[in-house]
Structure 1
Amino acid sequence: MRPNNRSAKRAQRKVRIAGHEVEMNVVSLIDIFAILVFYLLVSALTVEVLPSPNALQLPKSVVKEQPKQTSVVMITKADILVDNVRIMGTDEAQAAPGNVLDALKGELLRAPLQRNEAQPDVITRGDINIMADKAIPYAVLKKVMATCTDARYAKIALTVVEKKGGAS
């Protein structure tokens, strides 16, 4: 006698399946884990941690884009450093005549020239990041920025600490 209603057929199917071992296909699960590992590796490698010496107290601001891997000019209360190498004192920079700091420019000119991706006919030294203590006089910061511009850096970024609750 064969059952005609659906629930009886379903019950018979469950009894038949319960007696057999069920094979599990793990290929798609392995693919998902491989993609997850690849994503985590790529996203972990794109994070850049800039050196944050205790001598600097960075200003706070809203961060709109992440910094790129570039040369770093640090302006502490006592010194101006390029990639952690002391170039000159902050007092010397403030007392220097004109807007361009010759010692700093000499160090910045060591970076190779490169073509601008957005404008292939423009040749620059790329981007530079300035980390300055928030107590540094604006005149010193202005001279450092003018020197970076004179050394043909295309984009000058100022490093800040992200404010909590700032716009993304």
Structure 2
Amino acid sequence: MKQSLRAKRMAKHHRRLNQASKLNLVSLMDIFTILVFFLLVNSGDVEVLQTDKSIKLPASFSEQVPENNLVVLVSATDVVVGGRAVGTVTDLIASTSDLYAPLQQELKYQAERAGPLAEKDKLTGRPVTIMADQKVPYQLLKKIMATCAAAEYRDISLAVTKKELPANSGGGG
């Protein structure tokens, strides 16, 4: 049986309506691309030192952001330089010298790997960040800082957890 043009047009229209709808992913991919670029551009502003869970850093109102330096990590049990264990805190306490020899050897090794100092940096020395647990006694920190200074790491920073300034501590003027 022959169909009229109107019947053919109506059948074509009904077939089009009964088809399953298709998901258009182009706009969704555009949104995700924009989101990825946004995250990449804005993620470079924050620098955070990787901390060990066994270390609880002291709190401070410091406004200076950390730099990416060599890190000397002092936990309750170990002394670690750049991810390599150097010694234990008990050995550090037992040492009668003002310098801790295993730490000094590791720092000299790290300095050799980094290359020679520039003329302008010879006075200040190489930068190092000390991350020590807040319960580490000052005598141990003093020994670690003296060892760092003896190994040409005289630009010493101590890592702390940043505290927010109280609201009423504005400059009185």
- Relative to the length of structure 1, the TM-score reads 0.68
- Contact (CA 8 Å) 1:115, 1:124: kept in 2 or not? no
Question: Can you list the C-alpha shifts for 1:16-72, whole angstroms capped at 9, x where unaligned?
Answer: xxxxxxxxxxxxxxxxxxxxx79x72x632432211111001000011211111000
- Contact (CA 8 Å) 1:88, 1:104: kept in 2 or not? yes
Secondary structure, aligned partner of 1:109? helix
Question: Can you list the C-alpha shifts for 1:85-117, whole angstroms capped at 9, x where unaligned?
Answer: 11000010011012111100000012233215x
Q: Per the alignment, do residues 46 and 114 of structure 1 end up closer, same or farther by CA in structure 2, a change over 3 Å counting? A: farther
- Contact (CA 8 Å) 1:114, 1:123: kept in 2 or not? no
- The structure 2 residue matched to 1:114, chosen from 114, 117, 125, is 117
Report how many aligned residue pairs link the two structures: 129
Looking at structure 1, the residues matched to 80 and 165 of structure 2 have their Cα atoms a distance apart, in angstroms, of 32
Looking at structure 2, the residues matched to 106 and 62 of structure 1 have their Cα atoms a distance apart, in angstroms, of 34
* Aligned residues with identical type, % of pairs: 31
User: In the alignment, which residue of structure 2 is the partner of 1:10?
Assistant: none
Looking at structure 1, the residues matched to 117 and 46 of structure 2 have their Cα atoms a distance apart, in angstroms, of 24
- Contact (CA 8 Å) 2:124, 2:155: kept in 1 or not? no
Name the structure where helix makes up a greater proportion of residues: 2
Residue 157 of structure 2 is aligned to residue 157 of structure 1 = yes
User: In the alignment, which residue of structure 2 is the partner of 1:145?
Assistant: 145
Structure 1: where are the runs of 5+ without partners? 1-36
Secondary structure, aligned partner of 1:104? helix
In the TM superposition, residue 125 of structure 1 has moved relative to its aligned partner by 5.1
User: In the alignment, which residue of structure 1 is the partner of 2:47?
Assistant: 48
User: In the alignment, which residue of structure 2 is the partner of 1:102?
Assistant: 101
User: In the alignment, which residue of structure 2 is the partner of 1:93?
Assistant: 92
- Relative to the length of structure 2, the TM-score reads 0.66
Structure 2: where are the runs of 5+ without partners? 1-36
Looking at structure 2, the residues matched to 66 and 46 of structure 1 have their Cα atoms a distance apart, in angstroms, of 11
User: In the alignment, which residue of structure 2 is the partner of 1:61?
Assistant: 60
Q: Which runs of 4+ in 1 moved over 4 A?
A: none
